[in-house]
Amino acid sequence: MSPGRDLAVIGLGYAGLPLAEAACRSGLRTRGFDVDDAVVATLAAGRSHVAGVSDADVAAMLDSGFTASADPARLGAADTVVICVPTGLTADRVPDLGPLRAACATLGDRLRPGTLVVLESTSFPGTTEEVVLPILERRSGLRAGEDFYLAFAPERIDPGNTRFGLADTPKVIGGYTPLCAKYCATFYSRFVDSVVVARGTREAELAKLLENTYRFVNIALVNEFAGYCATTGIDVWDVVHCAGTKPFGFASFTPGPGVGGHCIPVDPVYLTTRAGQDGFTFSLVEAAAQVNEGLPVRVVDRAETLLGDLRGASVLLLGVTYKADVPDVRESPARPIAAQLLARGAEVAYHDPYASGFEVAGRSLREETDACAAAAAADLTILLQDHRKYDLAALVNSARLLLDTRGKAAGCRVRVL
């Protein structure tokens, strides 16, 4: 047996759809499965809902034979199945493997001998062998490593990154057995330039958590530097620029209003939760979490200092997505910032060229369509996300007062954290 040419992707979000698109381009017969009927309908109509995959890409996928469906019956016809479902946090901010367990149960009921199953969803070490494997074996009656093949290959999608994409980002894979790893590596080699084989599934799982925890900790570090610089009158942006000129031993991170997205605020929770179950404490990661979770309050405290009193003040938030030039608002720091502003009595509106509709605690914020006009009317404008579509010079000239959390604006009406 070797991985065949029929692929099914479970979960057609920010990781699953780019994977399906790359597989279609490589000539694999690809179908997608998603429980969201709206996602299925959007793709069937030739439209993309994911940044980095255009409508033209979806049209090309459909022309190649790609189909999206909410019918799980079609999973059983695939030679390879890749699971790309969300692994987020519950309302209590603990790992939520509900969608993953449901996907495994759905697949297990239809799993055929000889199928390669790959998990791409980020999770704690042990997930593939302790969560996915038992469900698949119990529901199918098949044995992993003998009747079907199992591996973990973490997604490394970076939305908005125009330099590195799926094909030229090395793919880490870890197999349940050496043969599982071999089949998994063969599969990805069809559309990824470089495949890195880990010793096993746990090593591959933990590698992904290390990548994003590294960023989480360094974001906290540079934001603590920013706090220190603010108390001493030192220009933190110049500090970061100077340190960043070193050609070795230093990776540059910049201050901001907080962490957001599908990975950075989430993955460290998966790491520390599992570590606690294993009797280990990541003291540095927990300290970083305290810093990062306090950043939105720091932004609002600074706003209150600038205005004297937030009660009745009009505040405009510029950019509410978690990252520049992407439409994703998951875990965006704009949400706790807006909540804090509202709690202190401010009237809050927002402008974002990528986000239409933004809710905070069940309340929809007023959306402005003209950024400069809104900035001229607001008592304070807070730049949270420096989208390329923003004309910062025009915004600075329009705003009564602008709090820049990104170090991008300049002028007599500009203040920094």
Range among 72-86, 190-204, 350-364 with highest mean pLDDT value: 190-204
Q: Which amino acid is at 328?
A: D
Mean pLDDT of the chain: 96
> What pLDDT, on a 0 to 100 scale, did the predictor assign at position 3?
59
Residue 331 within a domain: yes
pLDDT tens for residues 251-306?
999 999 999 998 999 999 999 999 999 999 999 999 999 999 999 999 999 999 99
Residue 281 within a domain: yes
More confident residue, 55 or 2: 55
156 φ/ψ angles, rounded to the nearest 5 degrees: -130, 35
How far is CA 30 from each of CA 10, 23, 155, 185, 273, rounded to the nearest angstrom? 11, 7, 18, 18, 35
Q: Same domain, yes or no, for 256 and 163?
A: no
DSSP single-letter state for residue 89? B
pLDDT tens for residues 113-144?
999 999 999 999 999 999 999 999 999 999 99
> What pLDDT, on a 0 to 100 scale, did the predictor assign at position 213?
98
Work out the pLDDT band at 2, boundaries 50, 70, 90. Answer: low
Q: Same domain, yes or no, for 41 and 164?
A: yes
- Domain interval for residue 89: 6-199
Q: Same domain, yes or no, for 152 and 256?
A: no
**Active-site annotation holder among 84, 104, 180, 263:** 263
> What pLDDT, on a 0 to 100 scale, did the predictor assign at position 123?
97
Q: Same domain, yes or no, for 182 and 228?
A: no
Q: Same domain, yes or no, for 267 and 389?
A: yes
> What pLDDT, on a 0 to 100 scale, did the predictor assign at position 161?
85
Report the predicted TM-score, pTM, of the whole model to 2 decimal places: 0.93
Using DSSP, state whether 161 is helix, strand or coil. Answer: coil
Tell me: pLDDT of 153 over 90. Answer: yes
Which string of b and e fits 133-152 if b means at least 16 CB within 10 Å? Answer: bebbbebbebebeebbbbbb
Residue 246 within a domain: yes
Active site residue 242: no
Work out the pLDDT band at 74, boundaries 50, 70, 90. Answer: confident
Q: What is the mean pLDDT of residues 342-347?
A: 97
> What pLDDT, on a 0 to 100 scale, did the predictor assign at position 88?
94
Q: What is the mean pLDDT of residues 82-91?
A: 95
CATH number of the domain where residue 148 is located:
3.40.50.720
Residue 13 within a domain: yes
Q: Same domain, yes or no, for 69 and 181?
A: yes
> What pLDDT, on a 0 to 100 scale, did the predictor assign at position 217?
98
Q: Same domain, yes or no, for 267 and 184?
A: no
Q: Which amino acid is at 408?
A: K
- The whole-angstrom separation of Cα 188 and Cα 195 is 7
Q: How many domains does the chain have?
A: 2
